[in-house]
Amino acid sequence: MASLSEVAPLLAATGRALHARGWALGTSGNFSAVVRREPLALAISRSGVDKGDLSERDFLEVDGDGVALEPGGRPSDETVVHLTVVRERGAGSVLHTHSVWGTLLSEAARDAGELVLQGYEMLKGLSGVRTHEHSEKLPVLENTQDYDRMSRDVRSALAEHPRAHGLLLRGHGLYTWGHDVPEARRHVEILEFLFEVEGRLYAATGRLKARPVGAFAGGEHGGG
């Protein structure tokens, strides 16, 4: 059991670092950590805060229905998605970012319905992954402004991808999580690094690497 005053400084520092890398520009992105399991309580960023100026006062506590525990506070609109991830995965922290490469790949992988990352040593930075031969399959969901629908879509996608460490919303961004804030942040760094590699390979070759890694060699490349 933690408290809002304990987790808020850590979440604020994490958010500022993600903003500095360009993964949460303007007011985009939102960040949370579980404060209590029974009954569930979550510390989450307030709605509409500029992430470059994020301070510990920009977080508030919500209950399991996403209702603020203090009067007048307005949590992020996507609080219900954070709560869904916490319940479905037992996560202790959920981080949501908007990056250039994540947005680009969410478009490129839209028809496939999932983005596959495999054959990279960096995958071993994901919790429980022991080999680069791991195939990380991130579901890609349609974006919506109906957060209850988004929450249901997320629950289904997590059920269908029981081993996934994150998910992409199309034209929107990444959700990832961990058992605590540092693990969730490490998952952001790993996945965003791999998004950049995949995105640049996509730009170079005109296709996603949804096939065995070996299929990528130069000989197969079309017009070039």
Binding site for a copy of itself (CB under 8 A): 22, 25-28, 50, 98, 100-101, 103-104, 107-112, 119-122, 125, 130-132, 143, 145, 169-173, 186, 189-190, 193, 196-197, 199-208, 213-214, 216-219, 221-224
Q: Which string of DSSP letters, residue by residue, matches 8-36?
A: HHHHHHHHHHHHHTTSS-TT--EEEEEEE
Sign of the alpha-carbon torsion through 138, 140, 13, 18: positive
Find the shortest distance in angstroms from Cβ 9 to a copy of itself: 17
Which CB, 41 or 166, lies closer to a copy of itself? Answer: 166
Which CB, 92 or 102, lies closer to a copy of itself? Answer: 102
Which CB, 69 or 201, lies closer to a copy of itself? Answer: 201
Find the shortest distance in angstroms from Cβ 58 to a copy of itself: 16
For the record, the structure tokens of 10 come out as 């850590």
Find the shortest distance in angstroms from Cβ 61 to a copy of itself: 25
Which CB, 51 or 60, lies closer to a copy of itself? Answer: 51
Which CB, 30 or 84, lies closer to a copy of itself? Answer: 30
Find the shortest distance in angstroms from Cβ 41 to a copy of itself: 27
Which CB, 25 or 40, lies closer to a copy of itself? Answer: 25
Q: Please state the φ and ψ torsions of residue 87, each to the nearest 5 degrees.
A: -75, -45
Q: How many CB atoms are closer than 10 A to CB 116?
A: 16
Find the shortest distance in angstroms from Cβ 192 to a copy of itself: 9
Find the shortest distance in angstroms from Cβ 193 to a copy of itself: 5
157 with 123: CB under 8 angstroms? Answer: no
Pairing of strands 41-45, 59-63: antiparallel
